[in-house]
């Protein structure tokens, strides 16, 4: 029988000799690692003293870690279940009529001749000046309006004004493009729908471009003598500090003050709060030590004062 050579005795089903999925490339100086599939199989059929390829000590440590995580999750769930319900907003108690009457009496004695700080000669001038006073001081508006009213004496003149020229004249009041656009559109509606005369009702005024309830109440109360509550930043601040309301929206504040203040004093009450807010009850550090309203003021939200 002829002797078979060693080459012929090699197995024919042996895998390829090149590195691949079944034969990873060996790194010099490192032990050759088993493929992942082989490692999984070896772990699944681990020998004695192992569980899934892990020793008994490693298995115990993993089990303890899992129990710890589970306990933490259960503890968190119990804490969230025991958590107190969210705080509900307490019911607001309206101020006593006696305290409101005392506040009105002190303010009336303190500011005997309340009037608008804006300079005007007719309802149209007051309307234009109020539009310009948004995000601007009354002093700056009074510096701009004399030349403005001389150049544009009526609503038709404002409606026909060149945008660039009008913007240049009111530039120093800020937001001059938006204000110029609102003035031209407002005066155009006054000419087209009201014969060039400023309306005398709140419902008609608020329909004009650039006119809200605040501007409408300013015109009604100061130009036509029709009572109206003007809610600006000073009125909003003082109404809260005096405990008259806890609303933050200007329209809500207006409707909250209406039943508290006699209608005949609506316009004057707005002026009183504006003047008091500028002189004594300032925004950052109110002068509570010299305020005549202090005996009747709960000082809501005041943390620092003089």
**At what angle are helices 123-132 and 213-223 packed, to 10 degrees?**
140
**Helix (H/G/I), strand (E/B), else coil: 231:** coil
> Is there a contact between 191 and 199 (Cβ–Cβ < 8 Å)?
no
**Helix (H/G/I), strand (E/B), else coil: 283:** coil
Pairwise CA distance, residues 3 & 190, whole Å:
121
Pairwise CA distance, residues 58 & 167, whole Å:
80
179 is catalytic: no
214 is catalytic: yes
306 alpha-carbon distance from chain centroid: 29
- Per the DSSP assignment, residues forming a β-bridge with 50 are 55
**Token duo for residue 222:** 């100061």
> Is there a contact between 266 and 228 (Cβ–Cβ < 8 Å)?
yes
Pairwise CA distance, residues 44 & 40, whole Å:
6
Cβ burial, residue 173 (10 Å; 0-12/13-18/19+): buried
Q: What's the sign of the alpha-carbon dihedral 104, 108, 111, 113? A: positive
Cβ burial, residue 80 (10 Å; 0-12/13-18/19+): exposed
> Is there a contact between 266 and 105 (Cβ–Cβ < 8 Å)?
no
> Is there a contact between 128 and 119 (Cβ–Cβ < 8 Å)?
no
Residue from 204, 177, 116, 122 nearest 155 by CA: 122
Which listed residue (79, 109, 113, 232) is catalytic? 232
Which listed residue (214, 249, 265, 285) is catalytic? 214
Q: Which residues are catalytic?
A: 214, 232
């Amino acid at each position: 029988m002829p002797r078979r050579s060693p080459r012929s005795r090699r197995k024919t089903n042996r895998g390829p000799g090149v590195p691949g999925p079944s034969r990873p490339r060996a790194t010099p100086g490192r032990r050759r690692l088993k493929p992942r599939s082989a490692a999984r199989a070896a772990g699944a059929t681990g020998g004695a003293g192992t569980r899934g390829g892990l020793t008994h000590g490693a298995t115990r440590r993993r089990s303890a870690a899992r129990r710890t995580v589970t306990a933490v999750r259960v503890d968190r769930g119990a804490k969230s279940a025991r958590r107190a319900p969210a705080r509900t907003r307490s019911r607001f108690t309206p101020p006593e009529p006696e305290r409101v009457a005392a506040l009105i009496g002190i303010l009336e004695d303190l500011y005997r001749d309340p009037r608008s700080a804006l300079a005007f000669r007719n309802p149209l001038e007051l309307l234009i000046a109020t539009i310009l006073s948004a995000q601007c001081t009354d002093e700056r508006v009074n510096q701009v309006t004399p030349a403005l009213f001389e150049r544009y004496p009526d609503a038709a003149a404002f409606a026909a004004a060149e945008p660039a020229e009008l913007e240049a004249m009111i530039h120093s009041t800020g937001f001059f493009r938006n204000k110029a656009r609102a003035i031209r559109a407002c005066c155009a509606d006054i000419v087209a729908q009201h014969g060039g005369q400023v309306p005398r009702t709140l419902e008609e005024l608020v329909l004009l471009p650039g006119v809200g309830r605040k501007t409408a109440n300013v015109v009604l109360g100061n130009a036509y003598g029709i009572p109206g509550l003007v809610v600006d930043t000073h009125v909003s601040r003082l109404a809260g500090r005096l405990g008259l309301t806890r609303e933050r929206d200007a329209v809500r504040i207006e409707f909250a003050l209406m039943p508290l203040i006699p209608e005949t004093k609506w316009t004057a009450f707005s002026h009183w709060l504006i003047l008091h807010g500028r002189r004594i009850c300032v925004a950052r550090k109110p002068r509570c030590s010299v305020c005549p309203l202090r005996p009747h003021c709960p000082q809501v939200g005041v943390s620092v004062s003089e």
